Amino acid sequence: MDEGRNMILLFPSLIHFKSDKERENFKPRLHMFYQQRVIDVPDGLPKWSGINEDSELIEDSPPEKIKEEERERIKR
């Protein structure tokens, strides 16, 4: 576990899912710390420079996600 961040790092291939719906819950939704990446991952998911939503979206993120995030920042 990650010291109170409600996060666990593991390999989903080690989990035996009972259904496709359960497997869907483990699909990636975003990338964090993408600026420190070792390889590019052109998968269409949002890519954050640090911790998601507490950092900047990187240019490789989907355009609609970047626009949505900018609208949210203006509201704050």
Of 26, 35, 61, give the one whose Cα is nearest residue 47. 61
Contact criterion met (CB below 8 Å) for 10 and 28 = no
> Tell me, what's the pLDDT at 19?
93
pLDDT at 38 over 70: yes
How many CB atoms neighbour CB 48 within 10 A?
20
Render pLDDT for 39-61 as a digit per residue (tens, 0 to 9). 999 888 888 899 877 888 887 77
The pLDDT confidence band at residue 74, using thresholds 50, 70 and 90, is confident
Type of residue numbered 11: F
Helix (H) or strand (E) segment spanning residue 72: helix 63-75
